[in-house]
Structure 1
Amino acid sequence: MEIYLDANATTPVLPQAKAAAIQAMVEDYGNPSSVHSTGLKAKALIDGVRARAQRLLDTGDGALLFTSGATEGIQTAVLSALSALRGNLNADYLLYGATEHKAVPEALKHWNAVLGLGLQILAIPVDAQGRHDLEFLRRHAPRAGLVCTMAANNETGIVSDLAGIEAALGDSACYWLVDGVQALGKLSLKLRSSRIDYAPFSGHKLYAPKGIGLLYVRAGAPFTPLMAGGGQEGALRSGTENMSGIAALGAVLAALEDGQTLRDSATMQGFRQRLADALCEAFPGLVFNAPLDVSLPTTLNFAVPGLSSRLLQDLFDAADVRVSGGSACSAAKAAPSFVLQAMGLPDWQAAGAVRLSIGPAVDEAFIDEACARIRACGESLRRHCLSPADNLPTLGEGITRFMHDGACCYLLADSASRRCVLIDPRPEQVDRLVQALHCQDYPVLAILSSSGEAEHAEARGLLMDLLNAPLRPTVAVDALGWPNGQEALHLGERRLLRKPCTQGQVLLLNAPQAPDTSAIAFTGMLDAQALRALALPLAASCFLAPGRDEAQQVVLGLAEAADTPHLLTGAQLQSFIKQHPNALLVDVREPFEQFLSQTPELAGAQMQAVALSRLMNALPEWLDEPGRPLLFFCRSGNRSRQAAQALTRLGHPNAWTLNGGLALMPSFSAKAPAADPALYV
């Protein structure tokens, strides 16, 4: 069962809305502009939905037209206002809230340029609570042509002080656009009694399908159609009406009116508090990025010290809980939230933000399950040494790679001798490394740098300060961290050697009995030819662990082949297993994800779990079986692609990746946390 907690991005379609849309497609399919009975029936449907929307929004004699959604509504409103400003010598500014959805400032820039107005576009600052600086607004409103604010913010849920904004506008002749997208069905909007000139709304944020929206235009406000043509919508918005979308939106509005189908504000506040309590229990140190008392009762925006937004999203997704890192329109860009930055929050909060949002159709059972999943996420972090507090001891073994902005750090651990070595740590990784080393509880033999970067030395100093005394290296070291007077560092049956070079040192990890065949070279050099020039005792099968990996290559080889693996879709998976009974399916998700989710149930499949961060540990065994197909999979297909490309580049002819990952497989769903956390070998 999927727990969808990203309602501010979009919502599922309400069953009544789905039924209404189907009825419109099957029965009420007439063109509302036609004068025959079928067309008149369609026209009556549109008029009925419009009248219902006018009642709910209390529009008075203002116009309400159907659009394709909020973006079209914003474009239309901005075009209308700016067209009216041509030749207006009293307007110098176009103002918008600093936390506004990007659709607004982008529309202002576009139409300001297209119409050649040359007005100055200014962001209205916000305070730490995300509310507009009314003093700034009072100073600039007299020379403003258009002011754009939100009723409620899509990322934080902060509710704007619309009454305060209206008072700050005073006697200004400016036009006022209010983005009402997140307010529909959550806030009481009485547009008749406000000076708001334009208010766009979007159906898919409140259980209607995508592609349908509304735009309110105050009576007397200037209007320039964005869509010209057949004259539909009273010549305000041409184009044949989206009958199924309008019918579905009407069903949602009817649910708002009946007061029974959707939850009221008090109930939603109770649900939100339960979710907030579960989050605080699951993630010690969690902070909410927006005060709840001035936020929508549907929205929580939070950050957890030491945990990135992406890690948290992967964690929730593994539990089949859908959240986002902020605005869905920019979530794929992995940038800090500009909304939280505008509020003046610390960088770690802006970069680590996660948004959880619900809609008023959720019920008690849904909230119960959501809270249980959230607590399971916290348990997974504790079992895998990722929680800010109360972590359980973990077993350290083999090579683990830690990444930060393309830089690679490696932890080499041996469970038999209970020793470890760190290679190429960076200051940004220190807290995470200290946490891992304390959970593992192995003394650190050395903290080494392969390239001599100043950041490595800085990280070494920080680690020495933060590690418990029994774990810190105790011998004197050179500038690269190598212990003075030692030729090799022993990690059980393996030993770590070094070869100084002009760019630092190459660190070779191998087994004493087979130094040529099993070597792994940790190096800042990515040029295999330069590495061979050092005349190291390396076989062609040697792996290179790079100090940087912006290209997501994971591991390199001295002699590399092409890196185009075979692609497989989820629909082909079962037949692939039948055709290749000896195939090995490799789950490259991280242990904390594996703990929370299940893999597909596939008859006859042989499976192994090897996280991408620990891929090097399994390479020798896999490369010794070139005839055995290896199919890598993960959640989205990105990490499995990296793994398959690495194997193909190293010469394995039968590396495959599950294209699109488990996310595109209908059988993939969450499970209860496993009793035994030892899932990875």
Structure 2
Amino acid sequence: MEIYLDANATTPVLPQAKAAAIQAMVEDYGNPSSIHSTGLKAKALIDGVRARAQRLLDTGDGALLFVSGATEGIQTAVLSALNSMRGNLQADLLLYGATEHKAVPEALKHWNQVLGLNLQIMAIPVDTQGRHDLAFLRQHAPRAGLVCTMAANNETGVISDLDGIESALAGSKALWLVDGVQALGKLPLRLQARRIDYAPFSGHKLYAPKGIGLLYVRAGAPFTPLMAGGGQEGSLRSGTENMSGIAALGAVLAALDDGQTLRDAATMHSFRDRLAEALCEAFPGLVFNAPLGSSLPTTLNFAVPGLSSRLLQDLFDAADVRVSGGSACSAAKAAPSFVLQAMGLPDWQAAGAVRLSIGPAVDEAFVDEACARIRACGESLRRHCLSPANNFPTIGDGITRFMQDGACCYLLADSLSKTCVLIDARPEQVCRLAQALTCQGYPLLAVLSSTGEAEHAEARELLADTLPALMPTAQVDALGWPMDRATIVLGEQELTRQSSSQGQVLLLGKTGAASPAIAFTGLSLPAELSAWVAAATLLAPGRDEAQQVALTLASAAQDQDASVQQVQGAQLKAFVNFHPDALLVDVREPYEQFLSQTPDLSGAQLEAMPLSRLLNAILPWLTEQPQRPLLFFCRTGNRSRQAALALSRLGHAQAWTLAGGLALLPTAARPKHQPDPALYV
């Protein structure tokens, strides 16, 4: 069962709305502009929905147009306001809240340029609680032709002080646009009572389908149609009406009216409080990025010290809990939240933010399950040494790669001798590394640098301050190598080094072996490398922006634009049947594997090998004779593609990736059972 906690991005369609949309498509399909009975019936439906919306939004004698959604509404409002200023530039400034949805400033820039106005566009600052700076607004409002603010913020849920904003606009002739998207069904906007000139709304944020919305225009406010044509909507918005969307929106508005289908504000507050409590229990040190007292009861925006937004999203997704890192429109860009940056919050909060949002259709059982899964996420972090507190001890063995902005750090651990070595640590990784080393509890034989970069030395000093009991006691040279030994022994393996032009190449292999199994090469491959390694030696780079994982001398000399063999989700069972000896490799991280369920693999052999530990398995897979088929999978297909490409470049002829990952598996093949606990350790 999926627990969907991303309602501020979009919502499922309410069953009543789905039924109404289907009825409109099957029975009320007439063109409202037609004068025959079928058309008149369609027009009556539209008029009824509009009347209900006008009453719920208290529009008075203002116009209420059906549009495709909030973006069209914003574009229409901005065009209307700016077009009215042409030839009448009593104002030279356009103002918008610094935390507005990007659709607003982008619309201002676009129409300001298209209309040739060249007005100054300025953001209204907000305080650390996300509220607009009313003193700034009072100062600049006399120069403004248009002021754009939100009723409630989509990322943080912060409710704007609309009364305070209206007071700050007193005496100004500026037009006022209020983005009402997150307020629909959650806040009383009192449109008629306020001087709001334009207010866009979007149906899909409140259980209607995508493609339908509303735009309120105050009576007497300037208006320029964005859509010209057949004269629909009183010639204010041409184009044949979206009958099924309007009917569905009408069903949602009726649900708001009935007082039973959707939860009231008090119930939503109690639900949010329970979710907030579960989050605080699961993630020690969690901070909420906006005050709950002045936010919508549907929204929680938070960050956890030491945990990235992406890690948290992957964690929740593994538990079939859907959250986001902020605005869904910019989530794929993986940038810090501009909303939280505008609020002046610390960088780690802006970069690590996660948004959890619910809609008023959720019930007690849903919230109970959501809280249980949130707590399970915290349990997974504790079991895998990622929680800010109360972590379980862990057994370290083999090579783990830590990535930070393309830079690679390697932790080499041996469970028999209970010792470890760190290679190329960076200051920004120290907290995570210290956590892993503490849970593992092995003393460090060395903290090495392949290049002698100042960042590596700084990281070594920070680790010494953080974990003095685990640091090596021997004197070391500038690259961290112990001055009293030529080799560093890790159980049955030994680490040696060769000096290079950039520092040192670190060579790891079985004690007494003729050639190393892995060479940690630093930032580039030294010209003399071929004298130190064999053709089969894996080369582990100090930086890996290209996400190659590992190279050999031969693959490093080849064109790296390799293609990867893909298996579509619908072909999974056929692939397994055709390759009964195939090994299906889960490259998700252990904290995800612990929470998730495995797909129906028809009895195929399964192995957990996280991408961060792939170096441990590459050589055995390459040297296996005959090479067995390998099908890598993860949540989205991105990490499995990296793994399959790495094996293909290194000469493995039977490496595939599951295209689109587990997320795109057909329903019949989706997870149905818990994995074998012994497999995911």
TM-score (structure 2 length as normaliser)? 0.98
Counterpart code for 1:285: G
Count residues with an aligned counterpart. Answer: 675
Is contact 2:199–2:216 with CA below 8 Å preserved after alignment? yes
Residue deviations 1:143-187, cap 9 Å, x none?
100000000000000000000000000111110000000000000
Inter-partner Cα distance in structure 2 for 1:443 and 1:179: 57
Partner of 2:222: 222
Inter-partner Cα distance in structure 1 for 2:552 and 2:279: 44
Residue deviations 1:608-629, cap 9 Å, x none?
0000000010111101235311
Whether 1:557 aligns to 2:552 is: yes
Counterpart code for 1:589: R
Q: CA deviation at 1:101?
A: 0.3
Residue deviations 1:452-483, cap 9 Å, x none?
111111001100110041x1110110111001
Structure 1 pair 463/670, CA: closer, same or farther in 2 (3 Å)?
Answer: farther
Is contact 1:426–1:459 with CA below 8 Å preserved after alignment? yes
Inter-partner Cα distance in structure 1 for 2:523 and 2:156: 44
Residue deviations 1:64-112, cap 9 Å, x none?
0000000000000000000001122320100000000000000000000
Whether 1:582 aligns to 2:586 is: no
Is contact 2:523–2:542 with CA below 8 Å preserved after alignment? yes
Partner of 1:620: 619
Partner of 2:327: 327
Inter-partner Cα distance in structure 2 for 1:231 and 1:154: 33
Whether 1:548 aligns to 2:543 is: yes
Inter-partner Cα distance in structure 2 for 1:234 and 1:445: 79
Inter-partner Cα distance in structure 2 for 1:668 and 1:448: 46
Partner of 1:110: 110
Counterpart code for 1:31: N
Q: CA deviation at 1:534?
A: 3.8
Inter-partner Cα distance in structure 2 for 1:565 and 1:332: 23
3-state secondary structure, aligned to 2:540:
strand
Residue deviations 1:617-662, cap 9 Å, x none?
0111101235311000000000000000000000000000000000
Structure 1 pair 534/612, CA: closer, same or farther in 2 (3 Å)?
Answer: closer
Inter-partner Cα distance in structure 1 for 2:89 and 2:261: 51
Inter-partner Cα distance in structure 1 for 2:673 and 2:189: 42
Structure 1 pair 256/668, CA: closer, same or farther in 2 (3 Å)?
Answer: farther
1:311-322 mapped onto 2 (5 Å cutoff): 311-322=311-322
Whether 1:268 aligns to 2:271 is: no
Residue deviations 1:247-300, cap 9 Å, x none?
000000000011110000000000000000000000000000000000000000
Is contact 1:271–1:367 with CA below 8 Å preserved after alignment? yes
Counterpart code for 1:580: H
Inter-partner Cα distance in structure 2 for 1:124 and 1:88: 24
Partner of 1:633: 633
Inter-partner Cα distance in structure 2 for 1:149 and 1:575: 54
Which stretch shifts more, 507-516 or 96-105? 507-516
TM-score (structure 1 length as normaliser)? 0.98
Partner of 1:539: 534
RMSD of aligned alpha carbons: 1.3
Is contact 1:596–1:670 with CA below 8 Å preserved after alignment? no
Counterpart code for 1:605: A
Partner of 1:208: 208
Is contact 1:582–1:628 with CA below 8 Å preserved after alignment? yes
Which stretch shifts more, 482-491 or 389-398? 482-491
Residue deviations 1:562-621, cap 9 Å, x none?
632211101000000110111100000000000000111222201100000000101111
Inter-partner Cα distance in structure 2 for 1:598 and 1:662: 10
Counterpart code for 1:182: Q
Structure 1 pair 453/327, CA: closer, same or farther in 2 (3 Å)?
Answer: same
Q: CA deviation at 1:535?
A: 4.6
Partner of 1:520: 518
Is contact 1:208–1:245 with CA below 8 Å preserved after alignment? yes
Q: CA deviation at 1:675?
A: 9.2
Structure 1 pair 587/280, CA: closer, same or farther in 2 (3 Å)?
Answer: same
Is contact 1:319–1:671 with CA below 8 Å preserved after alignment? no
Partner of 1:493: 492
3-state secondary structure, aligned to 2:183:
coil
Partner of 2:482: 483
Which stretch shifts more, 506-515 or 314-323? 506-515
Q: CA deviation at 1:672?
A: 9.2
Structure 1 pair 669/341, CA: closer, same or farther in 2 (3 Å)?
Answer: farther
1:632-671 mapped onto 2 (5 Å cutoff): 632-665=632-665, 666-667=667-668
Inter-partner Cα distance in structure 1 for 2:529 and 2:128: 56
3-state secondary structure, aligned to 1:556:
coil
Inter-partner Cα distance in structure 2 for 1:366 and 1:493: 52
Counterpart code for 1:132: H
Structure 1 pair 668/287, CA: closer, same or farther in 2 (3 Å)?
Answer: farther
Q: CA deviation at 1:538?
A: 1.5
Q: Percent identity, aligned pairs only? A: 79
Q: CA deviation at 1:393?
A: 0.2
Inter-partner Cα distance in structure 2 for 1:162 and 1:644: 54
Structure 1 pair 142/673, CA: closer, same or farther in 2 (3 Å)?
Answer: farther
Partner of 1:4: 4
Inter-partner Cα distance in structure 2 for 1:280 and 1:668: 35
Counterpart code for 2:235: A
Partner of 1:381: 381
Counterpart code for 1:503: Q
Is contact 1:591–1:679 with CA below 8 Å preserved after alignment? no
Inter-partner Cα distance in structure 1 for 2:641 and 2:675: 27
Inter-partner Cα distance in structure 2 for 1:16 and 1:26: 15
1:117-516 mapped onto 2 (5 Å cutoff): 117-469=117-469, 471-516=470-515
3-state secondary structure, aligned to 1:618:
helix
Inter-partner Cα distance in structure 1 for 2:56 and 2:47: 14
Counterpart code for 2:212: I
Is contact 2:581–2:629 with CA below 8 Å preserved after alignment? yes
Inter-partner Cα distance in structure 2 for 1:629 and 1:404: 31
Is contact 2:600–2:670 with CA below 8 Å preserved after alignment? no
3-state secondary structure, aligned to 1:142:
helix
Structure 1 pair 675/540, CA: closer, same or farther in 2 (3 Å)?
Answer: closer
Q: CA deviation at 1:673?
A: 7.9
Inter-partner Cα distance in structure 2 for 1:76 and 1:334: 30
Inter-partner Cα distance in structure 2 for 1:622 and 1:13: 47
Inter-partner Cα distance in structure 2 for 1:582 and 1:506: 38
Inter-partner Cα distance in structure 2 for 1:223 and 1:108: 16
Inter-partner Cα distance in structure 1 for 2:251 and 2:164: 34
Is contact 1:599–1:668 with CA below 8 Å preserved after alignment? no
Partner of 1:14: 14
Inter-partner Cα distance in structure 2 for 1:672 and 1:158: 40
Inter-partner Cα distance in structure 2 for 1:35 and 1:522: 78
3-state secondary structure, aligned to 2:585:
strand
Instruction: Give unpaired runs (5+ residues) of structure 1.
Output: none
Is contact 1:598–1:668 with CA below 8 Å preserved after alignment? no
Inter-partner Cα distance in structure 1 for 2:523 and 2:360: 55
Inter-partner Cα distance in structure 2 for 1:36 and 1:354: 52
Inter-partner Cα distance in structure 2 for 1:114 and 1:365: 51
Is contact 1:320–1:669 with CA below 8 Å preserved after alignment? no
Structure 1 pair 673/447, CA: closer, same or farther in 2 (3 Å)?
Answer: farther
Counterpart code for 1:195: R
